[in-house]
Amino acid sequence: MVERWYRNAVIYSLDVRTFQDSNGDGIGDLQGLVSRMDYLSRLGATALWLGPIHPSPGRDGGYDVTDHYDVDSALGSLGDFAQFMNFADERGLRVMLDLVVNHTSDEHPWFVSARSDPRSPFRDWYVWSEQEPPDRSEGMVFPGVQRERWTYCDQAGAWYHHRFYDFEPDLNIRNREVQDEICKIVAFWERLGVSGFRVDAAPFVIERTAPGVDPRDRDYGFLTELREQVSWQRGDAVFLAEANVPNEEQRLFFGDADGAANRLQMLFAFRLNQALMLALARHDPQPVIAALRKLSSLPRHGQSATFLRNHDEVDLSGLTDDERADVFTAFGPDRRHRLYERGIRRRLAPMLGDERWLRMAYSLQFTMPGTPVLRYGDELGMGEDLSLPEREAIRTPMQWSATPNAGFSTAAPDALIRPVVQAGPFGYERVNATDQGREADSLLLWFERMLHTLRECEEIGTGEHAVVPVGTPCIMVHRAEASSGSIMFVHNLGERPAKVCLRLPADGDELPVEVFGDREYPLRDLTELEVDGYGYRWIRLRRSRG
């Protein structure tokens, strides 16, 4: 690749449908997104990851796609998308799209044809079984909500496979025509200027499904082929995989040709995310320290994507029962907070409560090895609406102002795609971008300062990270080294002030410089450092003069 931009990016995740409505129909759209581009640029984002924008019945947040080559008419047209791309280019913002090719909607013309006639050219584009599969009620993605992953279709006279809801039949990756079609979809959007794709449910995309077959039978070679096409079409485009797999399996998604990633360049750091949540719940950095030590070394051009909250539930499936119980007790004590027997459907601000704690948590995430991902509204400390079903609780409209509908739309409140959060400490009259833009110490302006500081600390995204041993409970110190220099990070996961005694080798004759922190601290030397409760400090030890 000519430029490995993704290693020093800040990825901002948003759903166009809930970001800004421009025409008063209650649904966010591309024109609305364009009107907020200056906000995103000022914030410090460098790449926008858009949730699904394709035509869809909307039964699963747009992930039930009916046409991969168009834009949902509620969001605009392909012309509107082209205009949006021009505005993004003008501001130096890259754009990533959700690549949803594990399944389609059952209203997709391919599936409508496939189920209507066994001789349909699209019949083998999906996964069928003439007999009731023995694993019909195993391996559901949404336990407690989803009852099976094989559903009988009367019209087809056969069972079809679906890892997700029964209205989302899985595509058959064994079929060469399906693979070719996925490559065409990628090429189409690349030609329109997108810089990459977040691969939805990546392990399921390459799962060679058949009744009773081990679901771990995966076609990793297809990822290599997909990457090769991207490299030929656009050398700087990337794939970011949603692959919640053990560390030892991650290299299979990255690939490893001569020590370089030759499949997918980026994977979400799910194991690190779970460790972060456990560390916050216990006020103890040891889970993060252990996770960093267990992280498998990445291929030369591979990169992790770090996050605290995303568009789904907090997935705690990788924790032990005791660990999961600790996180549930701290952040999901009410049964309404929990989802799918494994996660929490809340935003981070109401989970933590204390804004000092919230800032420290994001400082910790943004200094972890990898590229940080930030979910829309988290820069404001938005809350959730637990009256909404499942994952929709954290997918409420962006809170722009204290005006009706939070400035998201001029539609009647009952016409909104989802209601805005109104009541309580996280209601839009208390938490919104306009008010925080005028408050010098608001969370929004704090995020702006942190993101702009991050741009000057490329060691975080490109360097080697190492934990610095300290004997102070609740304190984590780690260091990032790269050719550009060296920087150290101190985080206090406890609520009481503490001091840290360090024994660091001298970094030449250059004096250390504090570049970011929760307050101004005296920086006489590095042998003893103060840090407030829920405090954090970024200290540059050395900068290369080359």
107 as an active site residue: the answer is no
What's the length of the chain? 546
CB 125 within 8 A of CB 136: no
- The rounded distance, in Å, linking the Cα atoms of 408 and 453 is 29
CA nearest neighbour of 164 among 114, 106, 110, 230: 106
Catalytic pick among 168, 200, 379, 459: 200
200 as an active site residue: the answer is yes
Say which DSSP state 297 is in: P
Both tokens of 376, joined, read 């829309």
CA nearest neighbour of 196 among 159, 157, 239, 137: 239
- The rounded distance, in Å, linking the Cα atoms of 23 and 511 is 55
- The rounded distance, in Å, linking the Cα atoms of 525 and 522 is 9
Residue with tokens 């984590």: 476
Percentages helix, strand, coil for the chain (3-state, rounded to 5) are: 30, 20, 50
CB 490 within 8 A of CB 500: yes
Write b or e for each residue in 398-411: b if 16 or more Cβ atoms lie within 10 A of its Cβ, otherwise e: bbbbeeebbbbbeb
Write b or e for each residue in 23-59: b if 16 or more Cβ atoms lie within 10 A of its Cβ, otherwise e: eeebbbbbbbbbebbebbbebbbbbbbbbbbbbbebe
- The rounded distance, in Å, linking the Cα atoms of 317 and 467 is 26
CA nearest neighbour of 504 among 474, 542, 531: 542
- The rounded distance, in Å, linking the Cα atoms of 227 and 382 is 36
Q: 99: part of which helix (H) or strand (E)? A: strand 94-99
Catalytic pick among 72, 98, 242, 378: 242
Active site residues: 200, 242
